Amino acid sequence: MNRRKNGKFVISLDLELNWGVFDVFTIEQYKENLLGAREAVPQLLKLFRKHNIHATWGIVGFLFFDNKKDLLKEVPDELPNYDDTSLSAYQHIEQIGENEIEDPFHFGTQLINQIKQVPNQEIATHTFSHYYCLAKGQCAKQFEVDLIKAIEVAKKHNISIKTIIFPRNQINPDYLSICKSHGVKLYRGCEKHWLYKVTGKQDSKFKRVIRLMDSYMNLSGHHVYVLDDLVQKDGIIDIPSSQFLRPYVKRMSVMESLKLRRIKAGMEMAAKERKLYHLWWHPHNFGADLKESMNMLGEIITYYQRLNEQYGMESVSMGELANTLLKKSYKVKHDEDSNENRGVSHAINQMA
Ligand SMILES: [Zn+2]
């Protein structure tokens, strides 16, 4: 069986703790989710290990430190110059505690070490400072400084970064070549539909409501992708999202079966048509109703296993997908070259 041709199931998680939400909630308001995220990580890893799920973890660079002193030492000279200064993680740094024991909301080395111990888990970057690539005021140079720091700090943990997950999915097309020049080969794109287009401005309530409805009923399509179409002209690979996995929410519990049905239908389509299905979320989304959300995920993983047995669908991390896709484009290129060579020798033979 040519496994390359089978459908692929990708899971990516954005691990950020409070660095991803400090401008939206106070710690008091979001405490349950943030502490719950720290419980969710080992439970997710246990499930992934048991069912051989290969996942990609996009981690904020600040979480790679276990104390404030070390983090402050690595603050770059050039900081993101957002017009809205409340977005800047550097503004928030002064308020954090001294270390991971004292302040579990802003440090993550214990979690990173847990992830590193489980096979087939890819650690990607979610930028150094949870950087907003479409925010007004910042520029390409500031993004590059941030990216370099993110790659450096991961390297100190013996991690080589080849995937980026952009915070709030703010993808600035001008920054993709910067990523590539620093060895980053892949990013997570958004669903190719107006509902999921990220502009950097707050979405209208209408758009948010329709997007919420889209999680329960198929309004925008299944967002499954032909693998060979993912490599872009400039050589960077967009592994787009199929669906954000909304956590279990008690007040919406009657809708849970609809949500699961929608996800399973997309997965099944990808498995049958040998395409990609990509599910993503944040561990903190699971934080509030962890048990129920883990049960929901368990059902999705069980369904994946059925698709694996029936159609050979494979669980792959984003990084593993790059290996396959880039090898394939190399092969195409290589074949083209040898065809050209054949053409040349044919012409020479003709001349002779
Ligand atoms: Zn984020």
What span, in angstroms and rounded, lies between the C-alpha atoms of 129 and 305? 36
pLDDT of residue 285: 95
- Which residue segment(s) compose the domain that 20 sits in? 3-351
Provide DSSP, 281-326: E-GGGGSTTHHHHHHHHHHHHHHHHHHHHHH--EE--HHHHHHHHH
Give 97-113 pLDDT, tens digit per residue.
Answer: 999 999 999 999 999 99
Count of Cβ atoms closer than 10 Å to residue 110 Cβ: 15
Give 338-348 pLDDT, tens digit per residue.
Answer: 444 443 333 33
Give 10-60 pLDDT, tens digit per residue.
Answer: 999 999 999 999 999 999 999 999 999 999 999 999 999 999 999 999 999
What span, in angstroms and rounded, lies between the C-alpha atoms of 337 and 181? 25
CA of 124 to the centre of ligand 1 (A): 12
pLDDT band at 326 (very low <50, low <70, confident <90, very high): confident
Give 263-319 pLDDT, tens digit per residue.
Answer: 999 999 999 999 999 999 999 999 999 999 999 999 999 999 999 999 999 999 999
CA of 14 to the centre of ligand 1 (A): 6
pLDDT of residue 111: 98
CA of 340 to the centre of ligand 1 (A): 46
The CATH number given to whatever domain includes residue 119 is 3.20.20.370
Say what the pTM is.
Answer: 0.90
Burial class (CB in 10 A: 0-12, 13-18, 19+), 119: exposed
Residue 175 has pLDDT above 80, yes or no: yes
- The number of distinct structural domains making up the chain is 1
CA of 59 to the centre of ligand 1 (A): 8
Segments of the chain assigned E as strands: 8-15, 55-59, 121-125, 163-164, 186-187, 237-238, 243-244, 276-281, 314-315
For the chain, what is the radius of gyration of the CA atoms? 21
Of the candidates 23, 34, 184, 31, the one whose C-alpha atom is nearest the C-alpha of residue 111 is 34
CA of 261 to the centre of ligand 1 (A): 27
pLDDT of residue 250: 86
CA of 132 to the centre of ligand 1 (A): 9
Look at the alpha carbons of 343, 230, 217, 213 in this order and tell me if their dihedral is positive or negative: negative
CA of 235 to the centre of ligand 1 (A): 25
Residue 230 has pLDDT above 60, yes or no: yes
Ion ligand 1, residue ranges at CB < 5 A: 14, 16, 20, 167
CA of 168 to the centre of ligand 1 (A): 5
CA of 106 to the centre of ligand 1 (A): 13
